[in-house]
Amino acid sequence: SDEARIAFDNIADRAAGLIHPSIRFGVTGLSRAGKTVFITALVHNLLHGGRLPLFNAHHTGRIARTYLEPQPDDDVPRFQYEDHVRALIEDRLWPDSTRAISQLRLTVEYESASGWNRMLSAGKLSIDIVDYPGEWLLDLPLLAQDFREFSANAVELARSRARADLAEQWLARATAIDPKATADETSARELAQLFATYLKACKSDARALSTLPPGRFIMPGDLEGSPALTFSPLPDLPPTGSAPKGSVWAMMERRFESYKQVVVKPFFREHFARLDKQIVLVDALQAMNAGPDAVRDLERALGDILSCFRTGRNSLLTSLFTRRIGRVLIGATKADHLHHESHDRLEAIVRRLVDRAAERIHYSGAGIDVMALAAVRATREASIDEGGETLPVIVGTPIRGEKIAGQTFDGETKTAVFPGDLPEKPDSIFEALDQKPHGEPVTDINFVRFRPPQLERTAEGITLSLPHIRLDRALEFLFGDDLA
Ligand code: GDP
């Protein structure tokens, strides 16, 4: 059974840990949230002695050595750290984003802060960083749904204001099909394709809608083109009764069930259930910039993601797996788009977003922490005088093709941008959701995409490591106890 296998894996992991202590650290978030950049910056700062004053073990000089080692799992692709660093630092281009699961082992040799711990522990800890698409996490709720429920949820969302126009083609075709009619492979595949196209369209920059399951329709990983991905929900299924043999309905239902068995369960068993720590990255700024529907949608997706971490009675997961994750950190990314006065405000807004999402799934939200951060700080702060008034600005190099006030940037020119402020009261964002028109930003933030920063050199010619915002706080939160 799944439970037995997970219990076995847990024991095997523990046993291995007696010889060589290691923890599994999951990094997730919906696509473009910043996972690749976060992992790259974290590793780079640790390997190259970054400025991390709030990361105690590092700041107090207790870390003797940090290095990469071969990962323990041979069947998982390695996180391509070196390629990503080269892109970020040498080319000053954002690296290729996460498309599937990958892993990297970082080993830290340290000295415990207390004499007692120094005697007990070997002072060596391996952190297995596991990068995986948040889209895959959104599949977990499917385990508790049958095909009828899955279809009803999908169709309801497809008919909502935010999505109706994108879903039109798929819905029209799906509605024209009689679920009880005889199935044929070609039309099944076409319908599945239309469904996948609709799900992908929701992710476009302008819409910035969060993903709907099945997650592999957006992030197929190694399943690209496989039959497990050729199904579609069906509208207007009869509320009771079962699918007639040989019907479209029966075919879609069977493939939906096998998706759960073949794709969803193994991922949770082999990867998710073995994590010890977790950060979920959230790009709330992009959602606020895209409009009220995107914010509501992010809230919905966050609820689905959080439900995977909920412990206790009635939780889907506790019934399926024994988990090891204690606390979950939600990282509100890309804070370098804001002036520092707004960093705490971003944190407060995302905290509200998390609380609202948690409330919807009847989850207290205990054990969930929120931090605003920028894994890579692409801007620096300055102020300019305008008509006798001093205005805070951020300075950076907009990426090539970025347009600001009619000017198109070439990717080489630095410019100052007035970033705007987030509201002091987080609730005003949520009040604005009902007042702002569809598709209009819900804040006054000027959202400009910048190139990664040029690294500074000291007078001695040493290149400093990647600048960040609050990455050290996140590290302390995540690993402070393990290195105490
Ligand atoms: P993933 O899909 O979660 O792996 O997302 P990435 O890590 O590839 O990030 C997606 C994009 O977000 C990047 O290409 C950058 O444009 C932007 N981004 C990510 N992290 C940061 C950050 O810390 N600061 C800034 N300014 N942009 C970021």
Residue at which a domain ends, from 266, 296, 324:
266
pLDDT at 13 exceeding the cut of 80? no
- Indicate if ligand 1 lies below 6 Å from the C-beta of 34: yes
Cα atoms found within 13 Å of the Cα of residue 154, Cβ hemisphere only: 30
Residues 256 and 275 grouped into a single domain = no
> pLDDT digit string (tens) for 38-71?
999 999 999 998 999 999 999 999 999 999 999 9
- Indicate if ligand 1 lies below 6 Å from the C-beta of 336: yes
Residues 127 and 7 grouped into a single domain = yes
Residues 14 and 115 grouped into a single domain = yes
Counting the structural domains of the chain, the total is 2
Residues 309 and 344 grouped into a single domain = yes
Q: How many angstroms is it from 464 CA to the middle of ligand 1?
A: 20
Residue at which a domain ends, from 266, 283, 300:
266
pLDDT class of 364 with cuts at 50, 70, 90: confident
Q: How far is 284 from 346, CA to CA, in rounded Å?
A: 8
DSSP state letters, 401-457: T-EETTEEP-SS--EEE------SSTHHHHHHHHHS-TTS-SS-----PBPPPPPPB
The sheet carrying 415-417 orders its strands as 380-386, 389-396, 415-417
DSSP state letters, 63-121: EEEEEEE--S-TTSPBP-HHHHHIIIIIS--PPPPP-S-EEEEEEEEE--SSHHHHHHS
Residues 15 and 32 grouped into a single domain = yes
Instruction: Determine, yes or no, domain membership for 59.
Output: yes
Instruction: Determine, yes or no, domain membership for 347.
Output: yes
The number of residues in the chain equals 484
Cβ pair 20, 124 in contact under 8 A? yes
Cβ pair 402, 449 in contact under 8 A? yes
> pLDDT digit string (tens) for 286-345?
999 988 988 998 998 899 888 888 765 445 555 455 556 777 999 999 999 999 989 999
What is the value of ipTM here, to two decimals? Answer: 0.99
Q: Dihedral of the CA atoms 38, 40, 46, 48 (nearest 10)?
A: -140
- Indicate if ligand 1 lies below 6 Å from the C-beta of 36: yes
- Indicate if ligand 1 lies below 6 Å from the C-beta of 28: no
pLDDT at 445 exceeding the cut of 80? yes
Atom 27 (ligand 1) nearest CA: 334
Q: Which helix (H) or strand (E) holds 156?
A: helix 147-158
- Indicate if ligand 1 lies below 6 Å from the C-beta of 304: no
Instruction: Determine, yes or no, domain membership for 91.
Output: yes
Instruction: Determine, yes or no, domain membership for 389.
Output: no
- Indicate if ligand 1 lies below 6 Å from the C-beta of 376: yes
Residue at which a domain ends, from 232, 266, 300:
266
Residues 293 and 314 grouped into a single domain = yes
Give the range of the structural domain holding residue 285, as residue numbers without chain letter: 2-132+271-376+470-479
CATH label of the domain that carries residue 293 = 3.40.50.300
Taking the CA of residue 41 as reference, the ligand 1 atom at the shortest distance is 23
Residues 119 and 28 grouped into a single domain = yes
Atom 20 (ligand 1) nearest CA: 34
Residues 334 and 475 grouped into a single domain = yes
Residues 97 and 41 grouped into a single domain = yes
Q: Where are the beta strands (DSSP E) in 344-388?
A: 368-372, 380-386
